[in-house]
Amino acid sequence: MEMRGKVAVVTGSSAGVGRATAERLAALGAKVVVNYAHSEADAEATVAAIRQAGGTAHACRADVRSDADCRALIQSAVDAYGGLHVLVNNAGMTRFIPHAELDLVTDEVWDEILSANVRGTFNCTRAAAPHMRAAGEGAVVNVASVAGLGGGGSSIPYAASKSAIITMTKSLARVLGPEIRVNCIAPGFIDGRWLRGGLGERYAQARDAAAQRAPLRAVATPDSCADAILALIQYSTHITGQTVVVDGGASL
């Protein structure tokens, strides 16, 4: 898919993988909606960086746990730019809970994580699909995690939610083709503030251990994840329903 003139929504794009993806799409000529739920200042900084580089973007607050918000987010892209071609479902959340601490996994934890990660991905895709079909083409990329493949990660509900995204990617690819391709990336350890905040003083040791396990001797970054997302959008035009692992080979 040629990006120039296309319209893209990237959920959770005020920082990290989402921001790197939004900036990359804009640099290729797409008009981008930068989504945030809480970090308005970060979202506006992302928009400012895109505009300063010559791109087109605006910020839109939407909590993907709300179907109404998801629909409004998609509609903001259509209203501003006349259509929709690309959706990157990056927004998500977790709780850092040791897997053995089963009693700490409350109903509230399940509801928070599943509503953001699973329901949000579904609701945004459902809202986007009619507009992509009207455009005659569309590409959706979901952001999962290697936790969804191996059952590891920050908590059991997080791993379950990412596994659901991987499975849902296949289901949506079946029903949204041929106009719309739906794929997924599953990053491993991502160097950045999200894990730094969650792991605290254990961060550097965990990052270095993950890098040492990987044949490429490095962990993922927001930019390397954005590279994989853009490859699925731009070049992989005969691929749908697939999950690309972005972990330097650590899960081999």
Instruction: Give per-residue pLDDT as tens, 103-113.
Output: 999 999 999 99
With respect to residue 230, please indicate whether it lies within any of the assigned structural domains.
yes
With respect to residue 57, please indicate whether it lies within any of the assigned structural domains.
yes
Beta strands in the chain (DSSP E): 7-10, 31-36, 56-61, 86-89, 138-143, 180-187, 243-246
With respect to residue 240, please indicate whether it lies within any of the assigned structural domains.
yes
Instruction: Give per-residue pLDDT as tens, 134-180.
Output: 999 999 999 999 999 999 999 999 999 999 999 999 999 999 999 99
Residue 165 lies in domain? 7-192+221-244
**CATH for 82:** 3.40.50.720
At 198, is the pLDDT very low, low, confident or very high (cuts 50, 70, 90)? low
Q: Which of 35, 80, 78, 96 is nearest to 60 (CA)?
A: 35
With respect to residue 148, please indicate whether it lies within any of the assigned structural domains.
yes
The residues that are catalytic are: 158
With respect to residue 43, please indicate whether it lies within any of the assigned structural domains.
yes
Degrees to nearest 5, angle at CA 30 with 24 and 33 = 85
With respect to residue 182, please indicate whether it lies within any of the assigned structural domains.
yes
Dihedral sign (CA 12, 30, 88, 215): negative
Instruction: Give per-residue pLDDT as tens, 14-35.
Output: 999 999 999 999 999 999 999 9
Residue 194 has pLDDT above 70, yes or no: no
The pLDDT assigned to 193 comes to 75
Q: 189 and 165 in contact (C-beta within 8 Å)?
A: no
Degrees to nearest 5, angle at CA 197 with 194 and 202 = 115
The pLDDT assigned to 201 comes to 74
With respect to residue 212, please indicate whether it lies within any of the assigned structural domains.
no
Task: State the total domains in the chain.
Answer: 1
With respect to residue 44, please indicate whether it lies within any of the assigned structural domains.
yes
Instruction: Give per-residue pLDDT as tens, 30-70.
Output: 999 999 999 999 999 999 999 999 999 999 999 999 999 99
- For the chain, helix, strand, coil in percent to 5 are 50, 15, 30
| 119 sits in which H/E element | none
